[in-house]
Amino acid sequence: MSLTALPPATVTLAFTGASGLPYGIRLLEQLLAAGCRVWLLYSPAAQVVAQQEMQLSLPSQAKALQALWREQYCCGEQLSVFGREEWFAPPASGSNPADAMVICPCSMGALAAIAHGMSDNLIERAADVSIKEKRPLILVPRETPLSVIHLENMLTLARLGVTILPPAPGFYTHPSTVDDMVDFVVARILDQLRIPHTLMARWGEPRT
């Protein structure tokens, strides 16, 4: 599964129930700022994580969240939000796949389902579509320690060309805030998508 030379015009972004929603929210902001069209999917467990980690209440109804964030980010139809059971949503079909998909954060349950082709909800189906259509799929799994089951599922997906990108911030940039550490991970995701950013200095370049 190879990336094209151009950055993706449309990205499916999914939030699942793993810890690490600040990564997902920051990535959403950066994708919108870069001019990407974003199809956003989120699970009920992601709603729990949003409240726990960010004191952020995500409406249960996808269209309510869509209206809220379109206003907040002033992005209009650039952002579309779909519910888990919206099988007529664009990312559910290989006839209309996104250019790339990112699941950030990705729970081990979602990762396992994708590795075994379950497709029981829109997040899993969209990932399955990305794999079969050979579109870039990036998973940001947050769990520790990792069991043999977790590792074998990741290896299965990696062999299919899926990018496994654990949220492991480096310290060579001398981060001074949690936001700096979040930006490090989001920068790595944007690099995989070939989307330009200024979140951090690149290796060998002067820090600003």
Q: 100, 193 in Cβ contact below 8 A?
A: yes
Which residues define the annotated binding site for dimethylallyl phosphate?
172, 188
Closest CA to 53 of 82, 90, 86, 26: 26
Which residues define the annotated binding site for FMN?
17-19, 43, 142
- Residue corresponding to tokens 């954060």: 105
Which residues define the annotated binding site?
17-19, 43, 142, 172, 188
Amino acid at the residue 58: L
164 burial via Cβ count (<10 Å: 0-12, 13-18, 19+): middle
